[in-house]
Amino acid sequence: MIDTHMHGDARSSEDFQKMYLAGIDTAITCAFYPYTLFNEHVLLNHLNRILEYDTKRAKEYGLELKVALGIHPANSYIKPDLIYENINKWIEEEKIIAIGEIGLEDCNKEEIDIFKEQLKIADSSKTKIIIHTPRENKKETVLRIKEIVSENINPKLVVIDHVNLNIIDEVIDEDYTLGLTVQPQKMEVKEAIEILDNYGFDKFLLNSDISNKPSDPLSVPKTVRELTKLNYNKKKIEKVAFKNAKKFFNI
């Protein structure tokens, strides 16, 4: 199995071990700094920590962490040029598989400018993008994200993440790949299965988004096991368990 969106820097080594023992071989760890950023150097240290330290820490417990780095919308109040420079370097050196998670939260000018620039970097380098969608004003923000994406990058390079029943109809007919985040206070296993049941398995990825907030490191295997228990087609289950992610991220 592949957990396609998590924040390994916020999790214990015991969580990595639990995930591996539950059948998760690979996870994609994304950038998000949940504390006050005093300057761009603090954010760069955070990104380097993910890349150089957390990947090794997880590997000790059998879990392979692939890395997505970028400027999360909650971190959009720093000077971004140093981060752009390093994102370009990491792409060139093939140290990251995506820019992420990026996106919009409050839709202010700083967020939008930084979002657009990261999309341009991704488009020019043909790098995949993982896009955050917020809990509040979700539909309105997704519509703004779609507008910006269409102007700056091929949607086939894009994951729209944290999709739920409230916004699924806004994105299902586009060329995006869609992330289902099964997490306490976001989405229960039942809702994820309802979406898969109604919209098919071809476009979706599963993830836990485990972070410093209430999280379940085993939400992906729990969803996969529930699909198995309900006698869904094995090949369909494999798509959301790992095959769609392997194909999209080329891992």
Tens digits of residue pLDDT in 195-207: 999 999 999 999 9
Predicted local distance difference test score (pLDDT) of residue 38: 87
**Alpha carbons 102 and 31: distance in angstroms, whole number:** 8
**pTM of the model as a whole:** 0.96
**pLDDT score of 49:** 96
Q: Averaged over 32-54, what is the pLDDT?
A: 94
214: pLDDT strictly greater than 90 = no
Among the four given CATH numbers 3.20.20.140, 3.90.1280.10, 3.40.50.150, 3.40.630.30, the one describing domain 2-249: 3.20.20.140
Q: What is the pLDDT of residues 156-168, one digit of tens each?
A: 999 999 999 999 9
- Show the tokens assigned to 207: 């993830």
Contact indicator for 83, 71 with CB cutoff of 8 Å: yes
Type of residue numbered 175 = D
Q: Give how far Cα 28 sits from Cα of 3, 31, 79, 87, 208, Å.
A: 6, 10, 26, 16, 10
Q: Using one digit for the tens of pLDDT, what is the confidence trace for 60-106?
A: 999 999 999 999 999 999 999 999 999 999 999 999 999 999 999 99
* pLDDT at 250 (0 to 100): 96
Return the closest-CA partner of residue 231 out of 197, 187, 199. 197
